[in-house]
Structure 1
């Protein structure tokens, strides 16, 4: 019986979304602009990387051709094979927004049928009644922040006051999110998680996609650093996903990274959550190697987004893509006849773009496995085509409104 692994390269979009103008993102192109910067020397960093984007394995699987199908432009400086291996194309998001839950739910067969709520005011971002409820229900002396902010910057700015007063740091962005940062030792990690659960209930009527715990450590002398204990508290998907169908059929499920958080831990099977792309991919490979027939492994690699996209770090982003490329042969070596591997993304986060937030883009889709014939997938009208294909491949029937390839 076939197995499948689905890897989401968080934010590795490939430009071209027709409705990008509505999001202020017309012309954004995460992969295209990274490749162009590398080809022009703007992706160089001493001791990290230099030269054109070097991704021979992803190129062999058709990534540059997928990008060209999406935008009309191949990846600058990336050689294209005459005949890519496997199947390649790009997906168009039908859900509104450019958030992590929207992209992942649609990939899993559940496009978002509603508009997310947002905190749009740059200062005093949260409604007074929400602030009052957070303080009351959380038994807090108050909150800090209450604005749009970069997570690392707002911690640097307010960490000392947070430690002195015991007030958590609450902030947001253009995404549908309320983030709460607190010191693991001075405030307490479990206390932070409990507070986020409380706030999750408070913002449910506003359709806020995620409440995110952002724990950190450190002091004024050493500096403050976010830890790997981030935890997302998301609204559960409003309809069936590939995970729900597989669980109903009794199939083995392993989720790696923040998949469990994104799906509100609903039918997310064995959850593995190490810190960092390298550790997460190593854990995914180990889990997939041991995965029984008929099983499914769902992986999110978040560093592209959190460490490099939001920080507008082109060399770091390019190096992370190259690092993933070097590991791909290890996955291919684990694939048995009948197995299916899919590599895709959930949105964009163009590191050359103004601001610090996600960008509305198409996503690349690469599908491969032993003996799979080369075939252009072209334009897929919904990310949900991925779930439909996985359902057919795993013998549980197409899931969601997508069309299997």
Structure 2
């Protein structure tokens, strides 16, 4: 029986999507621009031999129609292409769900870019049900910035910091010690139950530690509370067929724990990769190991740190041979993204981009997959890989992954 590994390089877009103008993202190119920034900072191109050997550079150049600045480039020995998004947004759940075969073809609810931005009726009921004295924030904000600005007042008053972004999200930041981690999770669950009528996609718990504004820092105990995907994903189908779907990082949260049979948390890029390596080694046949590499998005994309993003990508590249070494004949490794987050773009929001579609199985040669019409092509490919029933959306490229068809 087959196994599959998905490494979701969160936010690693490879060029503006055809409808980028609708989202204000013309010219976005997360991968291309972080490589440009690195070369400008260091006077030399970043070396990505392992990712280039998997076709990432070729995919980005094909999607964005430009040459990338990268050193130690290798010829691809994998299937590579790029996909555009059917879903109506550029948010995390939409990208993940579509990749698993269920595009989001409805509009999420969003909060207005005003201060205050949350409906008063919701806030009143939220305060009533949680027993808190009130909230701080009530605005669009960067998570790190608003914690620095309001963290001391939060510790003093006990009022949680509530904010949003361009995504369909309600975020609650609270100090793990003075407010309490479990209490933060409890108030997030209450908020989740109240926000369904507003069609808000996620509530996110944002715990932090520190003594004052100079050293407040978010911890690895983030938790996402998502609504359920609108239809069964390939994860559901595999789990229902008796397979293992193993979540590493925030995958389980994004899918509202639907279709997940095992789950592991790990803080930071290195620990996520280490846990993935460990889990693959023990994963049985008919299993899917699914990891979200959140640092790319959370620490570098949203914070517009292009050079930091490049350094993290190099860390990923250096680790990849260890992941590949765990693969057996009949296994497939997929590397993709859920959206872009161009660190050179204005603001701090996601960017509407093509995402890479990289697939490697032992013995495969250079296979160009071209432009894919939907992220759902990945889910459809996995459905065929595991011999599951066909999904409603997506076109499988599983037949291109047979070593005998390598080009």
TM-score (structure 1 length as normaliser) = 0.96
Residue 181 of structure 1 corresponds to which residue in structure 2?
173
Query: Is the 8 Å Cα contact of residues 48 and 70 (structure 2) preserved in structure 1?
Result: no
SS at match of 2:390: coil
Q: State whether structure 2 residue 380 is matched by structure 1 residue 391.
A: no
SS at match of 1:356: coil
What does 1:319-358 align with in structure 2 at a 5 Å threshold? Answer: 319-358=311-350
Kept after mapping to 2: 8 A contact 1:92/1:381: yes
Contact 2:8 2:292 in 1 (8 A): yes
Q: Which residue of 2 aligns with 1:51?
A: 44
Give, in angstroms, the shift of residue 332 of structure 1. Answer: 1.1
Once the two structures are superposed, residues 223-253 of structure 1 have per-residue CA deviations (whole angstroms, 9 ceiling, x without a partner) of: 2111110000001101010110011100012
- Contact 1:65–1:74, Cα closer than 8 Å, also in 2: no
Partner of 2:402: none
Contact 2:48–2:73 (8 Å) recurs in 1: no
Residue number in structure 2 paired with 1:4: 4
- Within 2, Cα distance between the matches of 1:196 and 1:221? 23
2:252 maps to which residue?
260
Deviations 1:137-160 (A, max 9, x none): 111100000001110110111111
Q: Do residues 226 (structure 1) and 198 (structure 2) align?
A: no
> CA offsets, 1:321-367, max 9 Å, x none?
00000011111111111110000000000000000111110001110
Identify the range of structure 1 (68-77 vs 125-134) with the bigger mean alpha-carbon deviation: 68-77
TM-score scaled by structure 2?
0.95
Shift of 1:113: 2.2
The secondary structure found in structure 1 opposite 2:210 is: strand
Structure 2 CA distance for aligned equivalents of residues 341 and 130 of structure 1: 43
User: Structure 2: how far apart are the matches of 1:266 and 1:221?
Assistant: 38
2:208 is matched with 216
Q: Distance in 2 between matches of 1:151 and 1:201?
A: 23
Q: Is the 2:47–2:72 contact (alpha carbons within 8 Å) kept by the matching residues of 1?
A: no
In structure 2, what is the equivalent of residue 63 of structure 1? 56
Structure 1: unaligned runs, 5 residues or longer = 45-49
Distance 2:380 2:36 in 1: 34
**CA distance in structure 1 between the aligned counterparts of 2:76 and 2:377, rounded to whole angstroms:** 21
Mark the runs of 5 or more structure 2 residues left unpaired by the alignment: 398-407
- How many residue pairs get aligned? The number is 397
CA deviations over 1:57-103 (Å, ceiling 9, x no partner): 1111111110111111132234544x410100001100011100000
Separation in structure 2 between the aligned mates of residue 252 and residue 134 of structure 1, nearest angstrom: 37
Q: Which of 92, 95, 100 in structure 2 is aligned with 1:103? A: 95
RMSD between superposed Cα atoms in Å: 1.2
Distance 2:5 2:71 in 1: 26
Distance 1:400 1:193 in 2: 35
